[in-house]
Amino acid sequence: MNPKIGIYFGTDTGRTRRIAKLIAQKLGDRADAALNVNRVDPDTFLAHRVLILGAPTYGAGELPGLSTGLAQESWEEFLPRLRGRDMKGKTVALFGLGDQDKYGGEFVDALMILYDAMVACGARVVGAWPTDGYSFKASQALLDGRFVGLALDQINQPALTEARIDAWLQHLAHELES
Ligand SMILES: Cc1cc2nc3c(=O)[nH]c(=O)nc-3n(C[C@H](O)[C@H](O)[C@H](O)COP(=O)(O)O)c2cc1C
């Protein structure tokens, strides 16, 4: 078992990587360095008891991957490799990047795909986040009126990001103890 928090992200244009690295930096020695999910094998991924996973939304509300036009594999290709694996006892927190203006009808939808995959493996997903302060028409990533993870918009609200991350991590502090 890896006692450190594992931080894995998918990205095309690098924004989600920058956020993942910022989160890793804020967690200090409690977390391993943030890694692109296309560079990890399922066993290494599953060795963490606590995971923070980040994804942008691409396509029509989809995870990044080859079918949404990325040049490299990403979450779309990694998640099927976890199918049938047991994540009971693991705690997972999610963050998602999107564009609430241009894609306001499918804002951060990919968060829900990650959420469903984690729950299907038996993981406990923590870190739901309120919709206050965002302006979008619809999102598949809502459960009981809250995002299933931290929603970030580096296109329209970059100035709000760091405070959102700080508040989210503070709210999660107990859950992330590994
Ligand atoms: C072709 C394309 C499709 C997108 N689709 C969505 C979408 O459905 N929902 C959303 O919230 N954002 C969407 N976005 C916005 C991206 O998620 C956003 O730009 C994100 O910051 C990209 O992250 P990355 O730099 O890590 O790849 C889309 C962007 C592009 C270029």
Atom of ligand 1 nearest to the CA of 9: 26
CB 102 within 8 A of CB 70: no
Q: What is the pLDDT of residue 55?
A: 98
Residue 91 to residue 29: CA distance in whole angstroms: 18
Q: What is the pLDDT of residue 177?
A: 82
Residues with CB under 6 A from ligand 1: 11-16, 56-58, 61, 97-99, 103, 106-109, 154-155
CB 62 within 8 A of CB 95: no
Closest CA to 111 of 150, 156, 66, 80: 150
- Separation of CA 56 and ligand 1 centre (Å): 6
The gap between the terminal CA atoms of the chain, to the nearest Å, is 10
For the chain, list the domains and their CATH numbers: 6-172 (3.40.50.360)
Q: Which portions of the chain are predicted below pLDDT 50?
A: none
Residue 172 phi/psi, 5° resolution?
A: -90, -5
Structure token digits, residue 111: 């968060």
- Separation of CA 114 and ligand 1 centre (Å): 15
Residue 74 to residue 56: CA distance in whole angstroms: 11
pTM above 0.75, yes or no: yes
Helix extents (H) in 28-176 = 42-46, 75-82, 110-120, 158-172
Our mutation pick for probing the ligand 1 site, out of 57, 70, 164, counting the most ligand atoms within 8 A of Cβ, is 57
- Separation of CA 150 and ligand 1 centre (Å): 15
